[in-house]
Structure 1
Amino acid sequence: MSAEPLSPERRAAVMATLEGMPSLLAELDITLSRGDVISSAGSLGYVRATRVEQALPYNTGAAKAHRDVRAVLTDYATRVSAAVAQRVPGTAVDQARFLVRYLPQFPDDSDVVAGLEDALTEVVRSAYRVIDRPETLASVGNCECGLGLYARQDIDIVRCEGCGAVISVRHRRRQMLNQVYEVMGTAAELARLMPDGLGGRISAERIRQWARRGRLPSHIVDNRTVYRLGDVIELCAPRRSNRRRSA
C-alpha cells in the first residue's frame, strides 16, 4: 500500500529520530533497570544527582515502551532487509543504525517506509512519557494552527497536540533564530536583548563604538538610530571564540 510521500523536512525528521534512538533506548534501560535516580531541580532545570537518593521500583510502563520501540524497529528493519538482501541486526540499537544506513536508498513513496513516521512518533512520545527524569522543555514557537510547541533540547521532532502536525525542531529553531537576527533596535534596546546564548552580554556604548568605527551598519527609523540585532551578534562571535581559546 502506498502512502503520501514524505516532504523533505518530514523525511529529515524521521532520520533524526532514528539517529537519536540509541540515546532513547539507553534512557529506557536506565529506567527499566532501576539505575535512575531522583533528580533535583536547579536554576537550569533538572539535573542528574551525583548519588543514588532513592531506588525506583520496576517500571512496567518503561518495559512496554521498550517493547513497542523494538517492535517498530524490527518491523521496518525486516522490510528493509528484504529489499537490500541484508540480514536483520539482532539488537534494537543496531536495527536503528541499520535503518539510518539503508533508508536513504528508498523513495519517499516506497512501501518500505509507509507508516514509519507515524509509528516512530507514537512510540517515541510514549517512551519519553515513562522515562523517570522530568523533561526540560523549551519553546519552539507556534504551530501553523496557533498552538504553542515545546520540546526537549535533545529532541529533533515534535508533534502538535492540536492538529497533529509533525515539526522538525532543528528547522523551527533555525527559523526562530533567523527572525531574531532581523530585530531592529537602539543600542540600549539591543544591549538588553543580548543574552549569553546570543553572543554574550554587551554594553550599549560598545555597540555605538562599533558603529562609529564603521564596523556596525546603522539605520535611521522614526528619527532614531537603530541597528540590526543579527549584526551585533556576529560582531560578538569573535569575542566568544577568543574566550574559549583563552580558557
Structure 2
Amino acid sequence: MSSCAACQRPAVAVLCRGCVRQMIVALARLADGPVRRTRARRRPLRHRACGPCPVVAEVYRQGVAVDVIVERHPGLLADLEDVVVQRTRVPVGIDRLGDDESRLPWHEEASDLAQHARTVLTGWVRVLLDDHPAIASTLADTSTSGVARWLARRGRTLAMLPAAAEAAQDIVDLHRRVAHMVDRALERLFLGPCGALRIQQDRVVRCEYDLYGRPDRATVLCQACHTEHDIEERREQLRERLRGLLATAAEISRAMPSLIGGDVASSTIRRWVRERGLTQYPPDPRDARRAVRYRVDDVLRLAGYPLPEHEEPAS
C-alpha cells in the first residue's frame, strides 16, 4: 500500500479516500447547493362511468404512483456570479437591462476570482481529457458550474491521474476562496449551529455545522445534513440563547443583523444610555480597552424585540 500524494496517509492509488471525497465534495458545492426533495402523491384517476378505477387504486395503495419534487439550490459559483454584479444589492425598481445610469455595480475582486475559477476548472478538464478522450462527448454544459458538476461526477477518474494531488489542492483551495468571497460579499447572516439530529457511523448525533443565511431569503439549508430551517425561528432561538449575556456596544451592533434582521449602530446603543435609560455594566476584566458592556436583552427590548424578564446577570 502506497501513501497519499496529498496528505501522506495510506492509499491504494494516488490519493487516499479522504482526499478524494474532499475534492469531490468541493466540486459538488461549487456546482450545486443543497437539494430539497418533497414527496407528493398524485390524485387517483377516475373513469367517467364507474368512478375510481380499482386497478389504479391498488397501484396507489402500494405507493407506486408518487412524485418526487426536487428543488436544487444554486451552488457557490452561481452565488459568485451574483457577487460579480452585486445582484442582491440592487435597489427595487432598477432595470437591470436599462441605460448606463441603471447598470449594475461591478465587483472587481469577485470578477477576477470568477475568471480564476473558470481557468482552474477548465484546465483540469483538459488534463483529464488528454488521458481519457472518449469521455469528451459527455461534457454538454460548458458553463463554469457545468464544468464543476462534470468534474465532480468524474472525481474518482480525476483522482487516478499522476497530478491528482495538485488537482485536489487547486480545487479545495478554489472552493475555500469562493466560499469566503460569497459569505463576505453577500453579507450572510450567522444563525448558529444546525442542531438537527442525523445518523453518523451508526450513531445518532446532533449536527454542529454552522448556518449562514442570506438576508433576502426566508429559509436556510444546512450544507452538511440538508435540513431546512426557518430564518426567523433561528433568530428567535439565538435571541433566547443570548439571554443575560453582557457585551460591548460594538459586539452587539455586529450581531444585530443575525438577531433581528436589521442594523443598530454602536453609537445608537451608547445614545440610548442617555435618551432611553439603557443600563451600563462594568467592563470585562480581560478587556484591555475597558469598554463598558450592555445586556443584550435590554438592547433587543429597545430595538423592539423584547425577551421575557429574568434575573440580573452577574457582572
TM-score class, shorter-chain normalisation, is: 0.3 to 0.5
Larger Rg: 2
| TM-score, length-scaled by structure 2 | 0.36
Give the structure with the larger strand fraction.
Answer: 2
Q: TM-score normalized by structure 1?
A: 0.45
> Greater share of helix residues, 1 or 2?
1
Higher RCO (C-alpha under 8 Å, 6+ residues apart): 1
